[in-house]
Amino acid sequence: MPTASDILDLILSGNAEKMADAKLALAALEAAGSDDPVAIALSCHVSASEQRFDDLRGFLRKIAEGDPSLLGPFFDALLKLGGMRRIAGILHRDGVHRTGGPLSGLLGLFHQTIYIRGWTVTKPWPLDNSRMLEPVQDRMPQACRDLVRRINETGQGMGEPTPRVGGEVPWDDGTVLFNLVAQTRPRRILEIGFAKGMSTLFMLSASDSIESHTVIDPLQGSAYRHNGVKNVTQAGYGDKLRLIEMPSSLAMPMLLADGETFDLIFIDGSHCFEHTIMEALFADLLAEPDTLVAYHDYHMQPVYAALEFMRSNRGWSGVLASDVVIMRRDRAQANMQDNYTPFATARGKS
């Protein structure tokens, strides 16, 4: 029977077939009642059954009551899987931070360990950076291409003319989004800042993997006369679109409270600092371990400052393609008041 470490390697390989094997092997380990720390970390992350959460509580008690040597392999596996948030969530849900006692000490230890050991998970970067500007030409369906061209050239799509409240992504940046989706094949996309749907069309037309594309924009009806919805429907993607007509500050916490997560998040909203940093922090919470979060308009100082914070204090890093920054979480990083890292708030300053 494969060991828990073998299963961890299978899961980290990212291969869908191996993932199925890994789940079967893990189920066998669970059935055998394994209390291997790596197995516990794996099943908390992969199977998430209530039974396993009970096992986790028992396991944590065991560590807290005197067997701290189990902690290292458990943390290592969890961090590789990006699962710290879920475990911290379970402990918080149980109220251990309020009740004190050994488990509450352990929660502090979780944070300390991440901070002190500065764990970095080295995962392969999922994009071919050299191909982010590869022309979309023949890969985008004709009807969508015509519509995107029309918006690009005239600033208008299918609906009645509307004022330009915010500009749509230029062609090159749309091309980056298209290639990002074509290469990573996400299932659930979240987008902040919809306008006339230009960026949405680049993404939706790039891959048939997309099951749902959620857009957040408070001005879609009032300023844009639902032009974005009309354009996406005209291009044939209306059934995948979900519009939340609210500011991101209300919509993102709502999605989080509903337990939603996304495989790809694109942020192109108001661009002021307080909105961008709030959106980045909620994107962090709405992200799966391998989720990529892309930000438009890196040339803008508020966007730059917000992303510097995510890089220096939240464990995110990324690449710049045209004016789009594509980031992912390299390591789980829990912040406490004493591990704040000063960061550059403007290019060339700190």
Q: Is 175 in the site for ligand SAM (CB under 6 A)?
A: no
Q: Is 247 in the site for ligand SAM (CB under 6 A)?
A: yes
| Helices first, then strands: H and E counts in the chain | 15, 7
Quote the CA–CA distance of 182 and 165 in Å, as a whole number. Answer: 29
Which one of the spans 10-18, 142-150, 165-173, 314-322 is the region binding ligand SAM (CB under 6 A)? 165-173
Contact set for ligand SAM, span 201-240 (CB under 6 A): 216-219
Quote the CA–CA distance of 16 and 22 in Å, as a whole number. Answer: 10
Question: Within its chain, how far is the Cα of 333 from the centroid?
Answer: 15
Nearer to ligand SAM by C-beta: 96 or 192?
192
Among 22, 44, 169, 321, binds ligand SAM (CB under 6 A): 169
Output phi, psi for 264, to 5 deg.
-145, 135
Q: Residues touching ligand SAM: how many (CB under 6 A)? A: 23
Among 270, 276, 291, 333, binds ligand SAM (CB under 6 A): 270
Is the Cβ–Cβ distance between 5 and 81 less than 8 Å?
no
- Minimum CB distance to ligand SAM, residue 123 (Å): 28
Residue nearest to ligand SAM (CB): 166
Among 89, 118, 135, 167, binds ligand SAM (CB under 6 A): 167
109 sits in the region (left: phi over 0; alpha: psi -120 to 50; else beta) called alpha
Nearer to ligand SAM by C-beta: 52 or 275?
275
Among 165, 254, 256, 336, binds ligand SAM (CB under 6 A): 165
Burial class of 17 by CB neighbour count within 10 A (0 to 12, 13 to 18, 19+) = exposed
Nearer to ligand SAM by C-beta: 119 or 295?
295
Quote the CA–CA distance of 40 and 332 in Å, as a whole number. Answer: 18
Write out the residues near ligand SAM by the rule CB under 6 A: 165-169, 192-199, 216-219, 247-248, 268-270, 275
